[in-house]
Every structure is written in structure tokens, then in C-alpha cells.
């Protein structure tokens, strides 16, 4: 079976050396030396400040909401977000007692359409939670203007946007915070893990206490907190993966370009701004009709290839999220979208097989 993605496994000898050091120090968690080193190196690599490592990407979202005062309040807050995303973006809000209010996406970029945000603002709105979908940049300038006009916080879900640059700077610098997922399937991973990048140092300092049960120093409990710390084993994996990022990126870019060359004339690709330096994390395509997409899924499965419907269904149709209003663009794209396999080890022979099977179904 060719999976839609495959975890990148770095050099085993180097990982073993990091693990040997963990055994020698017997320091497994609680901001150990490897977590500290990874924090510093990621800030340098990404070109950001105020980065906080956490145990996973969902906790990154939840801690960001708390640290910025969006959740944990007495009133029932709302946050405007996109229905075209992984469920964790919205379910993390719901889990924190914040009602996700969906606004529709742009038909070309598949990111939250800034033109739809203001109509969704109510007196209960506390935040905007856009997603850099598949690593594509949201309309960050327009969203920032809306947030300032209505005195709202902006938390970007940047789970797909590791290393992406926009107008010469890290895309992750926008908003009051941006969260990252370091799940095993991501471009950069720590097996499980995540991070939050804060605009303001005071928000970072508050979040540091929140991920450690609210404890400041060794004895004072100053916040309502949880255990969301990244451990040393996760950090060791992250350091090894980071060392090999350039080779991983180069291989993914080659796959992405091969697909684009072969399929861009017959399938709809995501529109990206010219000023975006992409990370080649995903290769999503949109078919003309849902039936056509499902035929391709079936044909690929018959040939041992797994393509995935990222993101289906459109989240306003998920009953536990209590959405009230249809989002027609998101629903339409969600029905017709597929992500094709893309990962470091995908051979050119396998790529050609995938392209050939799709072309046959499309009669091109």
C-alpha cells in the first residue's frame, strides 16, 4: 500500500546518540536540555520569537486560547473560524467552551475568506481562528484589519505551514499567536508534539505556566493549568528531523512539481500568492465532480494507493459542533477534494503509477 503520507524517519545513529544523552542525564521531561535546544533552533530556523513547545498540536490551540483570554471566561465566547480544516481546529474551541462560528472559504485559495468574517461578528465574538490550509497563506493583512476594528484576537492554526514564508518573512509571525502541529505525519515532526508562536513575550510567559499545571518557579501556583509539556524523547526526534529538513524538502518539492506538471491542466489546484515560499507539505486537487473524485479514490485503492479526502466533511455539517448555517463553498470543495500521496520516500515509479491511474479515469 502506498499511503497518503509517511513519517520521515531520520538517521538512527544520530537519534541513538541523543537517547544515550537522555539516559545519562536521567532528565526525561520538564523543559529538559533537548527541549531547550529544539526551542532555540526552531526559532532560528523559522525566523520567529516566543516559541513554546507543547505535547501536541491540539493542546497548542487550547493553550493559545487560554493564554490570550479567549477561553476560561465566565461568558460564553465565540470565535470565527473556517469549516474547511481538520476537526481539531473547531473541536478545540468547543472543548474550551468557545463556540466555533463558521464563515465560508475562498473558492480559489480554500482559506477563510476575509470578506465573510465581519458578517459573523457578534457581541460575543472574542477571536478569529483562520487556518493556513495546506500551508497556503490566509489573507493576513485583511484579517488583521478586521481584528483591530473589532478588538479581536487572532490565532492562526498553522499546522500545515511549517517553514512557509510570505513576503520574505515567516508566515508564522502573523496574528497574536500561531500554532503548529508536530505530529508524525507532518513535514517536521517530533513523533507527537506541537508549538505556539506568540507575538508578545508576556503571553508566552503566561503559557509557560499553563503547560506546567499553572506552576511558577517551584511552588507557586498562579494559573489554572494542565500538563502539556514536550518530553525529551520528542525533542530528540525533532532535532534529528530538523537536521535533515533540506533533503526532505527537496524530495517533496520534486514530487509536488511532478504532479503539478502532469495534472494541473485537468484538475483544479490551490491558488497561492506569488509572494509565498511554499513547503510542499501536501498536494491537494479538486475534481470537477464528487462522483469523479470517488471513482479515482476507488481506482487508486484497487491498485494499493491511498488518497485522502482532506478535508471532508465540511465542519458545519458535523453535528457535535452545533453549527447552524451552511457554508456552500466549503461544502462544495470538501466533496471534490483529494490529497495525493506525497512523502520523502515516494519513488518516481510510484508517482508515475498514480498519475497514470488518475489520467485514465479522467480520460486524458
Of residues 102, 90, 140, the one with CA closest to residue 330: 102
Q: Average the pLDDT over 313-331 and give the result.
A: 95
Residue 363 pLDDT exceeds 90: no
For 269-309, how does the pLDDT look when each residue is reduced to its tens digit (9 = 90+)?
999 999 999 999 999 999 999 999 999 999 999 999 999 99
pTM (two decimals): 0.96
Give yes or no for a contact between 311 and 9, defined as CB atoms under 8 angstroms apart: no
Of residues 257, 272, 317, 307, the one with CA closest to residue 287: 307
Q: How far apart are CA 210 and CA 232, in angstroms?
A: 19
For 175-197, how does the pLDDT look when each residue is reduced to its tens digit (9 = 90+)?
999 999 999 999 999 999 999 99
Greatest pairwise CA separation for the chain in angstroms: 68
- DSSP assignment of 28-50 equals -SSS-HHHHHHHHHHHHHHT-SS
* Interacting residues of 179 by C-beta distance below 8 A, sequence separation 6+: 57, 60, 61, 64, 155, 156, 157, 158, 159, 194, 195, 196, 197
- What does pLDDT average to over the chain? 97
Place of cell 524517519: 9
Give yes or no for a contact between 177 and 152, defined as CB atoms under 8 angstroms apart: no
What is the structure's pLDDT at 208?
97
What is the structure's pLDDT at 355?
98
Show the CA angle centred on residue 333, arms to residues 328 and 338, nearest 5°. 160
Give yes or no for a contact between 171 and 189, defined as CB atoms under 8 angstroms apart: no
Helix (H, G, I), strand (E, B) or coil at 286: strand
Of residues 153, 148, 136, the one with CA closest to residue 283: 136
Distance from CA of residue 149 to its chain's centroid? 27
Give yes or no for a contact between 109 and 156, defined as CB atoms under 8 angstroms apart: no
What is the structure's pLDDT at 119?
96
What is the structure's pLDDT at 218?
73
What is the structure's pLDDT at 174?
98
What is the structure's pLDDT at 364?
59
Residue 75 pLDDT exceeds 90: no
Give yes or no for a contact between 307 and 326, defined as CB atoms under 8 angstroms apart: no
Q: Average the pLDDT over 26-34 and give the result.
A: 97
DSSP state of 74: S
Task: Set out the domains of the chain in order of their start, with CATH numbers.
Answer: 12-103+110-242 (3.40.640.10), 245-362 (3.90.1150.10)
Residue 63 pLDDT exceeds 90: yes
Q: How far apart are CA 27 and CA 252, in angstroms?
A: 35
Helix (H, G, I), strand (E, B) or coil at 62: helix
* Interacting residues of 192 by C-beta distance below 8 A, sequence separation 6+: 55, 56, 182, 183, 184, 234
C-alpha distance from residue 340 to each of 2, 256, 259, 278, 355 (Å): 10, 10, 9, 17, 10
What is the structure's pLDDT at 73?
77
For 195-245, how does the pLDDT look when each residue is reduced to its tens digit (9 = 90+)?
999 999 999 999 999 999 999 877 789 989 999 999 999 999 999 999 999
Q: Average the pLDDT over 326-330 and give the result.
A: 97
Place of cell 490551540: 61
Amino acid at each position: 500500500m502506498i499511503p497518503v503520507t509517511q513519517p520521515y524517519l531520520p538517521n538512527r545513529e544520530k537519534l541513538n546518540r541523543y537517547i544515550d544523552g537522555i539516559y545519562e542525564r536521567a532528565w526525561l521531561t520538564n523543559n529538559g536540555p533537548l527541549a531547550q535546544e529544539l526551542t532555540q533552533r526552531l526559532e532560528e530556523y523559522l525566523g520567529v520569537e516566543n516559541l513554546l513547545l507543547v505535547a501536541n498540536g491540539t493542546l497548542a490551540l487550547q493553550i493559545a486560547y487560554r493564554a490570550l483570554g479567549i477561553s476560561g471566561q465566565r461568558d460564553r465566547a465565540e470565535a470565527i473560524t473556517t469549516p474547511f480544516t481538520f476537526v481539531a481546529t473547531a473541536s478545540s474551541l468547543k472543548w474550551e467552551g468557545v463556540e466555533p462560528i463558521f464563515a465560508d472559504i475562498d473558492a480559489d485559495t480554500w482559506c477563510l475568506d476575509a470578506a465573510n468574517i465581519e458578517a459573523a461578528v457578534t457581541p460575543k465574538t472574542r477571536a478569529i481562528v483562520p487556518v493556513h490550509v495546506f500551508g497556503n497563506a490566509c489573507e493576513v493583512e485583511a484579517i488583521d484589519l478586521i481584528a483591530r476594528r473589532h478588538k479581536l484576537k487572532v490565532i492562526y492554526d498553522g499546522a500545515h505551514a511549517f517553514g512557509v514564508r510570505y513576503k520574505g518573512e515567516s508566515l508564522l509571525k502573523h496574528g497574536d499567536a500561531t500554532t503548529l502541529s508536530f505530529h508524525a505525519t507532518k513535514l517536521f515532526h517530533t513523533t507527537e508534539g506541537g508549538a505556539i508562536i506568540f507575538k508578545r513575550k508576556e503571553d508566552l510567559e503566561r503559557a509557560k505556566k499553563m503547560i506546567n499545571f499553572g506552576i511558577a518557579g517551584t511552588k507557586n501556583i498562579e494559573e489554572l493549568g494542565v500538563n502539556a509539556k514536550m518530553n525529551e524523547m520528542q525533542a530528540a526526534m525533532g532535532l534529528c528531523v530538523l537536521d535533515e529538513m533540506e533533503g526532505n524538502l527537496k524530495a517533496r518539492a520534486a514530487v509536488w512539481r511532478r504532479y503539478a506538471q502532469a495534472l494541473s491542466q485537468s484538475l483544479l489546484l490551490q491558488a497561492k500568492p506569488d509572494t509565498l515560499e511554499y513547503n510542499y507539505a501536501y498536494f491537494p486537487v479538486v475534481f470537477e465532480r464528487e462522483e469523479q473524485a470517488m471513482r479515482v479514490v476507488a481506482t487508486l485503492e484497487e491498485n494499493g494507493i491511498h488518497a485522502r479526502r482532506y478535508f471532508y466533511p465540511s465542519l458545519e455539517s458535523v453535528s457535535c459542533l452545533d453549527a447552524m448555517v451552511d457554508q456552500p463553498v466549503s461544502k462544495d470543495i470538501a466533496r471534490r477534494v483529494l490529497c495525493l500521496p506525497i512523502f520523502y520516500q515516494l519513488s518516481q515509479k510510484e508517482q508515475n503509477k498514480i498519475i497514470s491511474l488518475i489520467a485514465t479515469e479522467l480520460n486524458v
